[in-house]
Amino acid sequence: MHGYDDDKAKVIARLRRIEGQVHAITQMVEDDKYCIDVLTQISASNSALKSVALILLDDHLNHCVRQAAVQGGEVAGSKLEEASAAIARLVRS
């Protein structure tokens, strides 16, 4: 079981909506839409992806990391390092 099991339907729904947004962006470029309008839609898609990432990160911390903390030892350290690296990637993006 993954940490996002409880939110899986919500995550999938959001990702499908993002797929639609990206498809619409492709269509905008094919239709020679105004650059700023395309960039606005790209920004909205990026924000939507970050929102999904935060849901997954929260689920990971509250399930996987919490479970590893109970186990302690090397497992806990590994999960904390993994979570820290994921947060760093999100902050950089």
pLDDT digits (tens, 9 = 90+) for 67-81: 999 999 999 999 999
Q: What single letter denotes the amino acid at residue 86? A: A
What are the CB-based long-range contacts (under 8 Å, 24+) for 7-11? 7/55, 7/56, 7/59, 10/55, 11/52, 11/55, 11/56
What tokens appear for 18 in the block?
A: 């993002």
Query: What is the pTM assigned to this prediction?
Result: 0.84
Residue 37 confidence (pLDDT): 98
pLDDT digits (tens, 9 = 90+) for 9-33: 999 999 999 999 999 999 999 999 9
Residue 1 confidence (pLDDT): 64
- Give the pLDDT band of residue 48 (cuts 50, 70, 90): very high
